[in-house]
Structure 1
Amino acid sequence: MSHFLYWGKARQSENHQGDEFHLLQWHSLDVAACGYMLVMENRFNAAAIFAGLGLKDRQRAAEFFAWLLCWHDLGKFARLFQQKYTHEALDSGQRSVSNSRHHHTLTGMWLWQHHLSDAVAESIASPLSVRLRKRVLDRWLPVVIGHHGQPVSCENCHNDFLPKDIEAAQRFAREAHALFPSVALPQAWSEESWREQFLSQSWLISALVVLADWIGSGNHFFPWVAKDMPSEEYWSRSVAQAKNALRLLPAASDVAPFEGIDTLFPFITCPTPLQQKALELNISEPGPHLVILEDVTGAGKTEAALVLAHRLMTAGHARGLYIGLPTMATANAMYARMERAWLRLYRADSHPSLVLAHSARKLSAKFNASIWARELLPNESGDEAAAFEGCAAWFAQSPKKALLAETGVGTLDQALMAVMPFKHQNLRLLGLSDKILIADEIHSYDAYMSHLLEKLIEVRAASGNTTILLSATLSQIQRDRLAAAFYKGLNKPCAPPRLGLEDYPWVTHLHAQGIDGHRVATRPQVQRCVSIGWMEEEAACLNKIEKVAAEGGCIGWIRNSVDDAVCSYRELIRSGNIPEENIILFHSRFAFIDRAAIETKTLEWFGKEQAGHRAGKVIIATQVIQESVDIDLDYLISDLAPVDLLIQRAGRMQRHIRDKSGQLKLTGADERPAPRLDILAPPWQAQPDKTWLSSAMRNTSYVYPAHSRLWLTQRVLREQGEIRMPEAARLLIEAVYGEACEVPQGMQQSEEAAMGDYKSQRAIAANFEIHFEAGYALTSASQWVPDVATRLSEIMIDIWLAYDLPEGIQPYAQGENAWEMSALRVRQSWWNKHKTAFRLLTGDALERWRHAQRKNEAVVILLPGGYSPGEGLTGLDKER
Structure 2
Amino acid sequence: MGAGLPYFKYWGKAKPGQDEAGAQWHLLPYHSLDVAAVGQVLLQQHAFLRKRLAVLMQLSEADAVQWCVFLLGIHDLGKFAESFQQLRPDLRQQFWPDTIIKKKNYSVRHDSLGEMLWQRFLKDEWLEQSPDCEDFLEDAIKYWLQPVFGHHGWPPDKHEPLKNHFTDFDQAAALAYFNDWRQLVSPDIECVVNAGADSDWVKQQARVSWILAGLAVLCDWLGSNHALFTYHDERMDLPRYWQNVALPAAETAIRAAGLLPKPRVEHQNLQSLFPFIQDQTPLQAYCSTIPISAEPQLFILEDVTGAGKTEAALMLAQRLMEAGQAEGIYVGLPTMATANAMYERMTDAYLRFYAEGSQPSLILSHSARHLSEKFQESLLAAQRAEQNYADEENITAQCNRWLADNRKKALLADVGIGTIDQALLGVMPARHQSLRLLGLLNKVLILDEVHAYDAYTNQLLKTLVEFHAALGGSIILLSATLTQYQRETLIAAFYGKKYAAKPYTGKTDYPLLTQVAKDLPLLEQPLQTRESVRRAVQVQFCHDEKAVLQTIQQAVALGKSVCWIRNTVSDARDAWQQLAGYDWIDSGKLHLFHSRYALHDRLTIERQVLDYFGKQSTPEQRQGRVLIATQVVEQSLDLDFDVMISDLAPIDLLIQRAGRLQRHSRDALGKPLAHGQLDQRGTPTLTVFSPALTDEPQQDWYKQLFPKAHFVYPHTLVLWRTSQILARMQGWTMPEDARQLLEFVYDEADEGIPEALAGSTQKALGETHAKKDMGDALALKLALGYTVNSRAWDEEVKLATRLGDDTHTVYLACWQDGLLRPWVSDDRYCWDLSSVRVSSKQLEKVAVIKDVALVAALERLRETEKLFDQYSVIVPLTHEASGESWVGSAIDSSGRGVIVHYNEEIGLWLG
TM-score, length of structure 1 as denominator length: 0.90
Residue 301 (str. 1) matches residue 309 (str. 2)? yes
Residue 254 (str. 1) matches residue 258 (str. 2)? no
Equivalent in 674, 677, 682 of residue 673 of structure 1 = 682
Over 3 Å counting, the alpha-carbon distance change for 1:264 and 1:814 in structure 2 is: same
Aligned to 2:512: 506
Aligned to 2:126: 120
Aligned to 1:219: 226
Aligned to 2:752: 742
Q: Mind listing any 5+ residue stretches in structure 1 that lack a counterpart?
A: 378-392
Residue 542 (str. 1) matches residue 549 (str. 2)? yes
Residue 33 (str. 1) matches residue 42 (str. 2)? no
Which amino acid in structure 1 is aligned with residue 165 of structure 2? D
Partner secondary structure for residue 536 of structure 2: strand
Aligned length: 843
Aligned to 1:705: 714
Equivalent in 54, 76, 79 of residue 76 of structure 1 = 79
Aligned to 2:818: 807
Over 3 Å counting, the alpha-carbon distance change for 1:690 and 1:16 in structure 2 is: farther
Aligned to 2:773: 763
Q: CA deviation at 1:26?
A: 1.0
Question: Deviation digits for residues 266-302 of structure 1, max 9, x if unmatched?
Answer: 111210111112123232x442221111111110000
Aligned to 1:9: 13
Question: Deviation digits for residues 816-863 of structure 1, max 9, x if unmatched?
Answer: 14444333233345559xx9xx99955545543442332534433333
Partner secondary structure for residue 339 of structure 2: helix
Aligned to 2:531: 524
Over 3 Å counting, the alpha-carbon distance change for 1:483 and 1:661 in structure 2 is: same
Q: CA deviation at 1:784?
A: 2.2
CA contact under 8 A between 2:337 and 2:633: conserved in structure 1? no
Equivalent in 580, 583, 589 of residue 590 of structure 2 = 583
Equivalent in 428, 436, 441 of residue 420 of structure 1 = 428
Question: Deviation digits for residues 499-540 of structure 1, max 9, x if unmatched?
Answer: 44xx21111222233222121111111112121111111111
Equivalent in 104, 107, 113 of residue 107 of structure 1 = 113
Aligned to 2:600: 593
Question: Deviation digits for residues 735-786 of structure 1, max 9, x if unmatched?
Answer: 111244632011112211210111011000010112221222222x733233
Distance 2:68 2:48 in 1: 14
Distance 2:72 2:374 in 1: 30
Distance 2:212 2:439 in 1: 12
Which amino acid in structure 2 is aligned with residue 172 of structure 1? Y
Partner secondary structure for residue 726 of structure 2: helix
CA contact under 8 A between 1:476 and 1:498: conserved in structure 2? no
The farther-off stretch of 540-549 and 587-596 is: 587-596
The farther-off stretch of 414-423 and 302-311 is: 414-423
CA contact under 8 A between 2:337 and 2:606: conserved in structure 1? no
CA contact under 8 A between 2:18 and 2:24: conserved in structure 1? no
Partner secondary structure for residue 339 of structure 1: helix
Distance 2:689 2:501 in 1: 46
Q: CA deviation at 1:132?
A: 4.2
CA contact under 8 A between 1:39 and 1:61: conserved in structure 2? no
Q: CA deviation at 1:687?
A: 0.5
Which amino acid in structure 1 is aligned with residue 174 of structure 2? A
Aligned to 1:716: 725
Over 3 Å counting, the alpha-carbon distance change for 1:36 and 1:597 in structure 2 is: closer
Over 3 Å counting, the alpha-carbon distance change for 1:205 and 1:555 in structure 2 is: same
Which amino acid in structure 2 is aligned with residue 867 of structure 1? Y
Which amino acid in structure 1 is aligned with residue 44 of structure 2? M
Which amino acid in structure 1 is aligned with residue 585 of structure 2? I
CA contact under 8 A between 1:483 and 1:494: conserved in structure 2? no
Residue 778 (str. 1) matches residue 788 (str. 2)? yes
Q: CA deviation at 1:636?
A: 1.1
Distance 1:451 1:263 in 2: 37
Partner secondary structure for residue 444 of structure 2: strand
Question: Deviation digits for residues 8-49 of structure 1, max 9, x if unmatched?
Answer: 001147998841110111111111212222232245513552
Over 3 Å counting, the alpha-carbon distance change for 1:130 and 1:272 in structure 2 is: closer
Q: CA deviation at 1:68?
A: 2.6
Q: CA deviation at 1:802?
A: 4.3
Distance 1:637 1:138 in 2: 58
Distance 1:291 1:177 in 2: 44
Question: Deviation digits for residues 237-287 of structure 1, max 9, x if unmatched?
Answer: 21111112111234323332223211111111210111112123232x442
Partner secondary structure for residue 537 of structure 2: strand
Distance 1:849 1:441 in 2: 43
Partner secondary structure for residue 704 of structure 2: coil
Distance 1:66 1:726 in 2: 54
Structure 1 segment 167-206 matched on structure 2, within 5 A? 167-181=172-186, 183-186=188-191, 187-191=193-197, 192-206=199-213
Partner secondary structure for residue 427 of structure 1: helix
Residue 791 (str. 1) matches residue 796 (str. 2)? no
Partner secondary structure for residue 188 of structure 1: helix
Aligned to 1:267: 276
Q: CA deviation at 1:585?
A: 1.3
Residue 46 (str. 1) matches residue 50 (str. 2)? yes
Residue 276 (str. 1) matches residue 291 (str. 2)? no
Residue 871 (str. 1) matches residue 906 (str. 2)? yes
CA contact under 8 A between 1:462 and 1:489: conserved in structure 2? no
Distance 2:416 2:375 in 1: 18
Over 3 Å counting, the alpha-carbon distance change for 1:873 and 1:119 in structure 2 is: closer
Distance 2:456 2:291 in 1: 33
Structure 1 segment 721-736 matched on structure 2, within 5 A? 721-736=730-745
Distance 1:354 1:56 in 2: 33
Equivalent in 692, 696, 712 of residue 701 of structure 2 = 692
Equivalent in 346, 364, 377 of residue 338 of structure 1 = 346
Aligned to 2:24: 20
Over 3 Å counting, the alpha-carbon distance change for 1:831 and 1:145 in structure 2 is: closer
Which amino acid in structure 2 is aligned with residue 212 of structure 1? C
Q: State the identity as a percent.
A: 38
Distance 1:697 1:493 in 2: 37
CA contact under 8 A between 1:591 and 1:823: conserved in structure 2? yes
Over 3 Å counting, the alpha-carbon distance change for 1:788 and 1:17 in structure 2 is: farther
Distance 2:768 2:355 in 1: 46
Partner secondary structure for residue 195 of structure 1: helix
Residue 862 (str. 1) matches residue 882 (str. 2)? no
CA contact under 8 A between 1:840 and 1:860: conserved in structure 2? no
Which amino acid in structure 2 is aligned with residue 336 of structure 1? E
Residue 161 (str. 1) matches residue 166 (str. 2)? yes
Q: CA deviation at 1:497?
A: 2.9
Partner secondary structure for residue 458 of structure 2: helix
Which amino acid in structure 2 is aligned with residue 815 of structure 1? D
CA contact under 8 A between 2:364 and 2:406: conserved in structure 1? no
Aligned to 2:563: 556
Distance 2:744 2:23 in 1: 72
Q: CA deviation at 1:76?
A: 0.7
CA contact under 8 A between 1:636 and 1:650: conserved in structure 2? yes
Aligned to 1:754: 764
Partner secondary structure for residue 296 of structure 2: coil
Distance 1:306 1:766 in 2: 30
Over 3 Å counting, the alpha-carbon distance change for 1:152 and 1:46 in structure 2 is: farther
Question: Deviation digits for residues 369-398 of structure 1, max 9, x if unmatched?
Answer: x43476569xxxxxxxxxxxxxxx998876
Distance 1:16 1:37 in 2: 30
Aligned to 1:387: none
Distance 2:510 2:409 in 1: 39
Which amino acid in structure 2 is aligned with residue 540 of structure 1? A
Question: Deviation digits for residues 700-733 of structure 1, max 9, x if unmatched?
Answer: 2222111111101000000010132111111111
Which amino acid in structure 1 is aligned with residue 878 of structure 2? L
